[in-house]
Structure 1
């Protein structure tokens, strides 16, 4: 049996991986986990997370991976909102009644547990609940069933030409669908293998590449920027890499060129979102690749551009990017009205503005929503604004993203105080640190007398963003 999956600590072949999954399923089953249940997993990138995911599926349960960097309140919301019946973590203090990961996944000798019976899954059985912030700042659970995941994996395998010789190096977090689908499930289904890297470090990354000898990895523009910024004497052996993938945010053509020229590896840029089970377009690995675009629609999906009235637009016209296909989510958990607004007549409305060029490649123009993408992580200003509003001195708050050479964008905040009230920018930053994950904390807070407004009285974030850039 050949190698299957590895992390920084161990490597499993297919037989051992199956045994580990069967044992973990037996433990979960003994704790009452069965078909239709949800298992929450709060772990950094490590092999055990994948074992638990497969074990839960073996029992007919779904998995909701929780960002280990969330605050206690943020993690609790996801656990409670998903209705998780079990929480698995390496920190028992994170949740009452949680299971320690070692209890679930510790290797056992054959016969230590009776393997749990497998459940016959149907295509509409829930597989994953991936949480992503909504326009109101309240995290929403994206429900992906096994049909979604299977369709997406087949599209990725076909588009990238994956086979049993492929070996992915996972550097993106496993609480994102990209990390799960592109870097774990797809290579395994193609007969290949996956190596899970721990916390990303630009200085140590190519050491991992040289040691693991992967054929590809998937990353976000911020990671490529950090790799390009490495000292000039860093000259790694990248000969094992056939291609690398970029997603989560548009990547500047100049950055693509710098990476390819320095490291001799082609970047395949794509586009998608969690609601579409990861990817909807991709620059074809065999070419032509067109930097500045996010590529062609993946076979099996229809990607189009629509105006505000719901009319499909011709090539060259800008409008909202919409997606239709078997990869479109089942919906938002417990939010039927939000689901109905997002998926209309089978079309997933992405909230992104784009246009198709003459060759059918998608060019992203802007975002309808005010989402900030910091190092590939989606940040919604409203969530930060809600925290700022909890301070008794704050009357109004607005958060916008400003360009950052390494991270793409970072959030900055502007606040108006109640008359006679006082608070320092530092105190407001500390308030955010106590309630938000580190990536969501604004890099700067400016106290101002008034916020710019449009003719109907709404805060004009376009003007605010422009003034922030010019400061």
Structure 2
């Protein structure tokens, strides 16, 4: 159901073709009831979506009552609330749930949260995928330690060379081998990373710094939303 014009959908398409998988194209999330029915009719074993995909399936379809026989699902494209995570675990007790994080500039994946630690590390984007190195940096470029908030930076063979015909933007985004994601976050003492918000979207109210994502998480807990 993911559009192939975006990095997430495009990466799902290409990796499944590479692995020799069969692909079932949905009619987008405009008709969620049909998607929920097709998951069972076609015996789909893997499904990928963004947080709203799963919120719609859980609350607007038979998805939570008639459990599809999914071997795994993947979620990226934004943070998923702890409430939605718990609802998915209840609806899909035998399904591996992978929370992931990435960027188009990283073609397209940087981290994943191992399903076995989904509740223990709820809210985390997980650990780096193989051959990717992550760090937290302050504004001067100094690498920070556990539980210190700064910008998430990444390096690895999957990082882009730069923006086409735009050296200025490239210099602003890549320093040495490091990609500056623009996301603020921290890592815990176990090496699991957490995102607090976008660097450019922070709200400053007096002496307080507010991350809109934290407000969104509270709003998404409301049944009316």
TM-score bracket, normalised by the shorter chain, equals: 0.7 to 0.9
Match of 1:322 in 2: 153
Instruction: Tell me how far 1:234 sits from its aligned partner.
Output: 5.9
Structure 1 position 288, deviation (Å): 2.7
In structure 1, the residue matched to 2:207 is none
Q: For 1:360, which of 155, 178, 191 is the aligned residue?
A: 191
Pair 1:184 & 2:13 matched: yes
**By how many angstroms is 1:333 displaced?**
2.0
1:405 paired with 2:197, answer no
Deviations 1:286-316 (A, max 9, x none): x333221011101100011111000111121
The alpha carbon displacement at 1:405 in A equals 3.5
**How far 1:237 moved relative to its partner?**
4.0
Q: Which residue of the partner structure matches residue 337 of structure 1? A: 168
Do residues 349 (structure 1) and 180 (structure 2) align?
Answer: yes
**What does residue range 121-140 of structure 1 map to in structure 2 within 5 Å?**
none
Counterpart residue number, 1:214: 44
Aligned with 2:201 (options 370, 376, 381): 370
Question: Which structure has the larger Rg over C-alpha atoms?
Answer: 1
2:144 counterpart (290, 301, 313)? 313
Unmatched segments (≥5 aa) in structure 2? 203-211
Deviations 1:107-152 (A, max 9, x none): xxxxxxxxxxxxxxxxxxxxxxxxxxxxxxxxxxxxxxxxxxxxxx
Closer, same or farther in 2 for the Cα pair 1:317/1:347, shift >3 Å?
same
Q: 1:242 to 1:234 in 2, by over 3 A?
A: closer
Q: Distance in 1 between matches of 2:62 and 2:26?
A: 24
1:288 equivalent among 106, 117, 120: 117
1:224 and 2:54 matched: yes
Against the structure 1 CA distance between its residues 234 and 356, is the aligned structure 2 distance closer, same or farther, given a 3 Å change threshold? closer
Instruction: Give me the TM-score of the superposition, normalised by structure 1.
Output: 0.41
Cα RMSD between the aligned structures? 2.2
Partners of 2:77 and 2:61 in 1: CA distance: 26
Aligned equivalents of 1:189, 1:220: Cα separation in 2: 22
Tell me the residue number matched to 2:98: 268
Does structure 1 retain, via aligned residues, the 8 Å contact 2:36–2:61?
A: no
Q: Structure 1: which 4+ aligned runs deviate by more than 6 Å?
A: none
What corresponds to 2:22 in structure 1?
A: 193
2:79 equivalent in structure 1? 250
Residue 72 of structure 2 contacts residue 97 of structure 2 at CA under 8 Å; is this kept in 1? Answer: yes
Whole-Å separation in 1 of the counterparts to 2:97 and 2:82: 10
1:178-206 deviation line (CA, Å, top 9, x unaligned): 1111x221122122222221222222211
Alpha carbons of 1:281 and 1:234: their partners in 2 closer, same or farther (altered >3 Å)? closer
- Rate the CA distance shift 1:234–1:337 in 2: closer, same or farther, 3 A: closer
SS in 2 for 1:217: strand
Correspondence 1:456-471 to 2 at 5 A:
none
